[in-house]
Amino acid sequence: MQEKVRFDDQEARKAGNLGRLPEDWLQEVFRQKWFKLFVPKELGGLQYDLPQALKLEEKLASMDGSLGWTVTLCAGAGWFVGFVEEQARADIFRDPKLCLAGSGFVGGKANLVGYTYELTGRWTYASGALHASHLTANCEILENGQPLLDEDQKPIVKAFILDKQDVKILDGWNYMGMIATGSHAFEVKGLKVSSTRCFEIIPSAAKLPHPIYQYPFLQFAETTLAANILGIATHLQSLIIQSFWKRHEYRKYDDKHLSHFKEKYLAEIRKMEKAKTEFYRAVEKSWQELQREGSISEKKLKNVSKKSRKLTQRCRLSNAKLYPFAGLEAAKTHSELNRVWRDFNTVSQHALLIFPF
């Protein structure tokens, strides 16, 4: 991966001040086609396999949390290309500056009248909303004003792709970290949307044959988020280690203290590497089975979920154990270490990976 721009602390501070990815970062994302990781090559995308994409997302997150997260979430929304009608694929996904932001929250209702839906709702946490070309929104479905229910008498939910100019962005990202993701809310009121912009995110509804669209959405989301958390944790731990050795230059820790630090540090690195290896192995095995059999066994899917959560938990525990060694540098509000710590402790709160099971 050869970048033409700098993804360093100075540029990350600039991104934080802007509350979005800076223009030079954004242009590099477009040049590298990172928002189109899962878009078919015939539509100008990279069409990555899942294991390949996860390694890139981990790398980007290790350079900057907001960069990795925005690319991951927007590329993840771009994955919906495999589920939309041919007309929508042609109209939307050929754009070289395509960027889909969206929310997993079911925040609206869509009333179908004829072949047109009328949408009203409000959705939260749409990472990349400020520079998106389109936004995705989940809605409960009504037909002629009456709720549609599935066989279990639960509301039917479908997703929609909306043009950026048709939505109102709401300033709703007021958190301590991941500031440059610009994960704002958005709303629409009585917006009329063609049925060609409506889709369902289940393997049986996939319109394209590539295996990536047959990978279940839950595990797809878990793995991509876990890869980001790993990347940010790796960045944070490297800064903690740097801070410790810098303090050692003027504090001159004795051999006993140095031995204690090295023992703790090496132990956590080994645990992190073990969790990372198990995570990627589980994903790779599931991906190989999907390519070979056309589907993934429940056992392997459960293992992918388990290893994603285990990796996230390990990142939390290792960061907590190493954090005290950073000293007060970790508490300086304008230090790189503090920014990355805030990013980690924001992104690791994602509801999908809070529990270890």
pLDDT score for 172: 79
Per domain, the residue ranges of the chain are 9-83, 100-202, 215-353
pTM of the model: 0.95
Q: Which CATH architecture has domain 9-83?
A: Orthogonal Bundle (1.10)
> Would you say 255 and 263 are in contact if contact means Cβ atoms under 8 Å apart?
no
Domain 215-353 in CATH: superfamily?
Answer: Butyryl-CoA Dehydrogenase, subunit A, domain 3 (1.20.140.10)
State the CB neighbour count (10 A cutoff) for residue 339: 24
pLDDT score for 267: 97
What is the per-residue pLDDT across 279-288, written as a single tens digit (0 to 9) for each? 999 999 999 9
* Cα separation, 342 vs 354, whole angstroms: 17
The CATH number of 100-202 is: 2.40.110.10
What is the per-residue pLDDT across 52-75, written as a single tens digit (0 to 9) for each? 999 999 999 999 999 999 999 999
> Would you say 216 and 160 are in contact if contact means Cβ atoms under 8 Å apart?
no
Domain 9-83 matches domain 215-353 at the CATH topology level: no
Query: Cα torsion at 111, 171, 14, 343 (round to 10°)?
Result: -80
